[in-house]
Structure 1
Amino acid sequence: MGAEVCALRGIVQGYAGLPVLDELWLTVLPGEFVAVVGPSGCGKSTLLNLLAGFAEPQAGELHRPVATRMVHQQDGLLPWLTAAGNIALGLGSKDEADPRLSGWLRLAGLEAFAGYYPHQLSGGMRRRVELARVLASPAGLLLLDEPFAALDWLTRRRIHAELMRLLALQPRAVVLVTHDIEEAVTLADRVIVLSPRPARVRCELPLDAPRPRPLAAALPAMQRILAELET
């Protein structure tokens, strides 16, 4: 399998006779940030479920790490645990006094909010807790299923910058599924454009500028993606 963190080779998947993925090929390298975009209902979430181990493909070859973590669009924090308690779960601990927590709270800028419960935190702060929790885990692959979609534009941009900062300190391979093309081209090293269902890879666009990059630097890629999605 080489140095790949995960690889899908000729993956076929469907449900109740409905074809969803058709001969899908995708590899992700260590430390690489890959964004996946495509029409609604084309199979992006099915792809993430395969990578997370929630399902097995009907055909093709799938290689994925033993440990993966996913952040969904919906809030995944446990409401009866504090910010520190939720992050502790990523460390495999239930101890809110775990000495390892202080470093993660500091990295996420949450030291002053360690004892706060999710309902006491803003949407952006809850996202930071979730990101710290998954990055504190030993997972080799981080799966993001539109986790920033419910945030306003300014908060989303701030969380993007926070994610990039955390990944620079704790590198992981990332696969992001998003409907937001601007988000894809400003965050990712490579953007995968899927066709309508049954999905295949329509095109791959590498992005060389350092991330997170200004939209102006990624505008040609954004225009290419829009052209692919509109045809």
Structure 2
Amino acid sequence: MELSSTCKLPFGKYEGLEVGMVYLLAPSYINWMILDDVHFITDLDFLLQLKVIDRFGNQGHIADSDRVDVWEFNNLWKPRVTFKDIMHSGVEHHYISYEAIKRNREIQGESISKYDPSNDPRLENPDPLIFYPHMGLSSERTTFTPIGYRKSEKGYTIISFEANNRRWFMNMFPHKDKIRVSSFFLSDWKIEDEEMERRIEEKLPFFGRIKDGYLMLERVEVDLEKWYKEQSWEFK
């Protein structure tokens, strides 16, 4: 049976979760599934281009024995996000075994076609969603300039930001002056819609940081020139 990254698993402990989401959160399960079953993933080569979250890493066997992983994925991740929302939110590289890749291709047979990642629009303009419940991920304080918003697959408002990661304030993301990230519009920010719209229109930044897996913004006016001087940078 063929499955794509957006198909929901029809069996097993992660039944009902998208294949791509399982790959991001528990990549070793996908490796096991390919080797132990007759299912194959039609766009496995695409998945292999993505970093993973690997929620439990080498503690996966403990999470499995207590069913902690199933509870968390079904109660914290599945109700809020889809694979499309978090496909670029991975924080580390993962390598599916050679045996699994070979078997996936063998089962796929003649239907397989040469994959060229440079022509895959799904890999363009990655915009990682800062959404890591129960992972405890945190970062240093930096600037986040809101540049737009959209609705998620499940109808939640997502704000896109241009963030300064010049000093690797967020070490899970690329080390660049400007990177694109996004976050759900959180009530914890205590920011009204009108203020966010004004900041987007006028390109006014917030100070913020990742705390316990979520983006937390500060409702203060940002003096970029002063902040640059504090960082010993040239103001541009």
User: What range describes the TM-score normalised by the shorter chain of this pair?
Assistant: under 0.3
TM-score, normalized by length of structure 2? Answer: 0.25
Higher-strand-fraction structure: 1
In terms of Rg, which structure is larger?
Answer: 2
Asked which structure has the greater RCO (Cα within 8 Å, sep 6+), the reply is: 1
